[in-house]
Structure 1
Amino acid sequence: MLKLVRIIIVVLLCLIICICGTIYSLIRFKNPNNVSVVARWFGRLYPLFGLNVEHRYPENVDQFNPCIYIANHQNNYDMVTISYMVQPRTVSIGKKSLIWIPFFGLVYWATGNILLDRDNKNKAHSTMGQVAQRINQDNLSVWMFPEGTRSRGRGLLPFKTGAFHAAIAAGVPVVPVVCSSTQNKIDLNRWNNGKVICEILPPIDSRQFNKENVREFANHCHQIMQHRIAELDAEIAQSSL
């Protein structure tokens, strides 16, 4: 019964956020802060899932822009956990097919996110060049999930190199954003689903890498994020004893 009530409330609130977010973003069309505002609306829904989410920021997080944020992508609960970490003047990159999702697709487009045609690899590579150009011209940051898909309990999946090519081309740092594990830890029939920690890590300078060692760049960031996620999981496990 609790699960059903939660689902109904969450669906209704998500519809309201999508409708209000679309209207808000169309009024402020192309405003670079649209994405962070609407992302935080979704991020405030976490208590409805019985979660206690802690958001951790470096002291100088407001000085990170422009940059490319890379985050681990676990499941649909990312919408109410790590999405709250999206910073001002940040847009995300998502699949072009997202626009066909009822209500959500419209707000995703209206807020100013970048839609990528992943079925066309040549176009995707060209888009990364355009992303780098837009970062510098518009003083924007970009949020990406370098795994390319939800991990769904399989750990941090290998990274694709698109985000790192874009960072090298734009000459901006990569900023890892990590969220502790949520897969199989949330039961909507349970009042309390425990604690989740989301954290923005220090920037990683892209200038020490180039096109020839971009895979090394991706692996370096993967190791840092994998290690920190393990630390956060251990911290949560210890605090629950």
Structure 2
Amino acid sequence: MWYNIVIITVTLACIILLKQLFSSKPNKIKFNFIYFILYFGTSLATFLFLPMCILRPKDVRNATVIAKVTKHMTKLFGLRWELRNGHILAEDRGAVIVSNHQSSLDIFGMFDIWEVAQKLSVIAKKQLFYVWPFGLSAYLSGTVFIDRNNPKSAYKQIQVMSDVLVKNKTKLWIFPEGTRNKDCTKLMPFKRGAFKIAVNVQVPIIPVVFSPYYFINSKKYLFNKGHVIIKFLDPVPTDGLTEEDIPNLMNRIFEVMQTEYKKLSKEVIEALPRDYPLAVPLPQTDS
């Protein structure tokens, strides 16, 4: 008797689950399932490439190989990434890349363009290291994990990358906002860490702007098809600058990125069908 009850219960649960997954209306189950597939697929790929990472630990080229596979994950859900000014990213030199940070989806945009950069390392929060196998593979691929609650320790860890930036001509990707920005109307104030590193090592800063994720909303469980522009801006040299110049440098780059963010927002909105349901409010721009 109990066996039949279990079978019926499981069957009903599967029917409800499938109904939610294939529903045309946004719902929590469908929304979370999309992220589950993205994270599971990424974890599987990093697990398969783990032996390669172990054989050449801390080699940033490991991430390039993994990205060639994982960059296709978001295509399953209709996301398209467009790289602009890729020649800036491709140039063989050490640099600090500063980018706006909107969502965990940012990493998939980075996967899509990673092959262009080749030698690229990322600053990530310490907690991600414990998400195995992704965290272990990322560590073995040159990702620098920092403890945001311990600024002195975090800065020391980043300083280790200084020689790598110059000697190995590696680019270091940092999100200067410090955390995910859920307000799609503007950028959050920058923290000075990325700029301090660039000035100390005397390498250029390359600003990069992701257009807003107008197609997702975690509160409304919306995850629609979308188009994201990843635009690299002209490098800003730091030759001859000192720590006294950092505040002005931060403000200058912030304004450039904020202006470009608004331009990209306007562009993606104008390209959308008139009846497209925006998931989030976007910046007000001049017509």
TM-score bucket (shorter structure): 0.7 to 0.9
The one of 50, 63, 71 aligned to 2:78: 50
Of stretches 93-102 and 52-61 in structure 1, the one that deviates more from structure 2 is 52-61
Percent identity, aligned pairs only?
Answer: 26
Aligned residue number for residue 73 of structure 1: 101
- Are residue 100 (structure 1) and residue 130 (structure 2) matched? yes
1:27-42 pair list within 5 angstroms: 27-42=55-70
Question: Which residue identity does 1:124 align to in structure 2?
Answer: A
- 2:48 and 2:164 map into 1 onto residues whose CA distance is 27
* CA deviation string 1:154-198 (max 9, x = no partner): 531111111111101111101112111115x23798895232111
* CA deviation string 1:2-46 (max 9, x = no partner): 437645543442221121232332233232322233344333222
Query: CA distance change for structure 1 residues 60 and 182 in 2, over 3 Å: closer, same or farther?
Result: closer
Q: Report the TM-score when normalising by structure 1.
A: 0.87
1:182-221 pair list within 5 angstroms: 182=213, 185-186=215-216, 193-207=225-239, 209-221=241-253
Question: Which residue identity does 1:235 align to in structure 2?
Answer: E
- 1:17 and 1:150 map into 2 onto residues whose CA distance is 25
- 1:204 and 1:67 map into 2 onto residues whose CA distance is 10
Q: Report the TM-score when normalising by structure 2.
A: 0.74
Gaps of at least 5 residues in structure 1 are none
Contact 1:50 / 1:191 at 8 angstroms: preserved in 2?
no
* CA deviation string 1:47-81 (max 9, x = no partner): 12222221223435422521111111101221222
- 2:33 and 2:149 map into 1 onto residues whose CA distance is 38
Contact 1:178 / 1:198 at 8 angstroms: preserved in 2?
yes
- 1:97 and 1:9 map into 2 onto residues whose CA distance is 21
- 2:52 and 2:231 map into 1 onto residues whose CA distance is 28
Query: CA distance change for structure 1 residues 203 and 40 in 2, over 3 Å: closer, same or farther?
Result: farther
Q: Look at both structures and tell me which one has the larger radius of gyration over its CA atoms.
A: 2
* RMSD over equivalenced CA pairs, Å: 2.5
Contact 1:182 / 1:196 at 8 angstroms: preserved in 2?
yes
1:158-177 pair list within 5 angstroms: 158-177=189-208
Higher relative contact order (CA 8 A, sep 6+): 1
The number of equivalent residue pairs is: 240
- Are residue 24 (structure 1) and residue 52 (structure 2) matched? yes
